[in-house]
């Protein structure tokens, strides 16, 4: 019997990380994946999410990603797959994780005179359903922070972009990480392609309420981007300014340029999860809307 794949996950207590851990634990076809190993800061190991994982037999690895590199390398030695679900605000920690993963593979995983580089896989899911739904005044707001969201309609609202239900991410990742077709490839993961106008229309249909529509123009976004880049040129790396710049860039590429589509991803060389795994059923947006407003799903950045 072939050895099972050992998976380390950084950010496992978050909504995206939890989706992946739960899928690895629950999917029968992944009996060839060993129980995942979440990486957690010592101060976080008693968080409810980690306690719940531990009660299901998951081994939590206490580790500081910004701590001594040799300790991080030791924690990753023997792992076949390292997954990061960290955000753009954790670039330093993610960089340390990547460097340690490569070093751990070279030091602990290969023999012979020609050492191989660590095989890599990038799973891209640019935008989440939860970051797209606006508040419905008659019902109450959805629990998300506006600075991380695209609840303003970008441009005319008719540019298609791929949306992802967090609960679908784990389904795809559990398949992707053991699929030889994805080795050293980038994979574009998504639930379905929608326009913002279609999302707002469906939201009104499901809730039976009118939803205010606030628009942001291309010119407004380009002005924010220009101002942010000017601050960076002055070496001003204030996190709030970086976030504002990054979100303006996101909104521009999503709603103005229209980059976030399967067609554009394929042009860039990405594999499409729909073509790789046609049997995986994505969660319908209507179901997500119902669950969100009934408080049945967790949201990011809340």
Residues in the chain: 302
CA-only gyration radius of the chain, Å:
20
CATH (residue range 7-122): 3.40.50.720
Is residue 203 a contact partner of residue 196, using CB atoms and an 8 Å limit? no
0.85 cut: is pTM over it?
A: no
Residue 115: its pLDDT value, please?
33
Compute the distance between CA of residue 60 and CA of residue 41 in angstroms, rounded to an integer: 10
- 77-114 pLDDT, tens digit each: 989 889 998 877 788 898 999 999 988 874 543 322 23
| Cα–Cα nearest to 121, from 187, 36, 34, 191 | 187
Is residue 273 a contact partner of residue 176, using CB atoms and an 8 Å limit? yes
CATH topology of domain 137-164+190-294: UDP-galactose 4-epimerase; domain 1 (3.90.25)
- 18-58 pLDDT, tens digit each: 999 999 988 665 566 777 889 999 999 999 999 999 999 89
Domain boundaries, the chain: 7-122, 137-164+190-294
């Amino acid at each position: 019997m072939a050895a099972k794949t050992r998976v380390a996950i950084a950010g496992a207590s978050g909504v995206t990380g939890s989706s992946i851990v739960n899928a690895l634990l629950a999917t029968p076809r992944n009996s060839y994946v060993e129980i995942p190993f979440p990486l957690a800061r010592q101060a976080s190991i008693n968080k409810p999410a980690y306690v719940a994982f531990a009660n299901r037999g998951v081994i939590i690895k206490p580790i500081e990603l910004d701590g001594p590199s040799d300790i991080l390398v030791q924690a990753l030695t023997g792992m076949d797959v390292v997954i990061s679900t960290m955000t753009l605000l954790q670039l330093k920690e993610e960089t340390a994780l990547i460097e340690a993963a490569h070093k751990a593979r070279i030091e602990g995983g290969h023999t012979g005179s020609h050492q191989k580089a660590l095989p890599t896989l990038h799973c891209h899911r640019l935008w989440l359903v939860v970051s797209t739904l606006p508040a419905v005044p008659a019902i109450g707001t959805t629990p998300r922070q506006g600075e991380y969201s695209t609840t303003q309609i970008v441009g005319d609202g008719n540019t298609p972009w791929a949306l992802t239900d967090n609960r679908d991410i784990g389904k795809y990742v559990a398949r992707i990480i053991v699929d030889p077709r994805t080795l050293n490839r980038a994979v574009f993961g998504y639930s379905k392609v929608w326009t913002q106008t279609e999302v707002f229309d469906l939201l009104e249909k499901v809730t039976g309420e009118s939803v205010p529509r606030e628009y942001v123009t291309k010119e407004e976004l380009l002005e924010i981007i220009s101002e942010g880049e000017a601050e960076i040129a002055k070496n001003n790396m204030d996190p709030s300014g970086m976030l504002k710049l990054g979100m303006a860039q996101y909104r521009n590429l999503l709603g103005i340029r229209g980059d976030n589509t399967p067609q554009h991803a394929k042009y860039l060389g990405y594999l499409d999860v729909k073509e790789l795994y046609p049997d995986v059923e994505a969660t319908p947006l209507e179901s997500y809307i119902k669950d969100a407003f009934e408080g049945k799903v967790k949201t990011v950045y809340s």
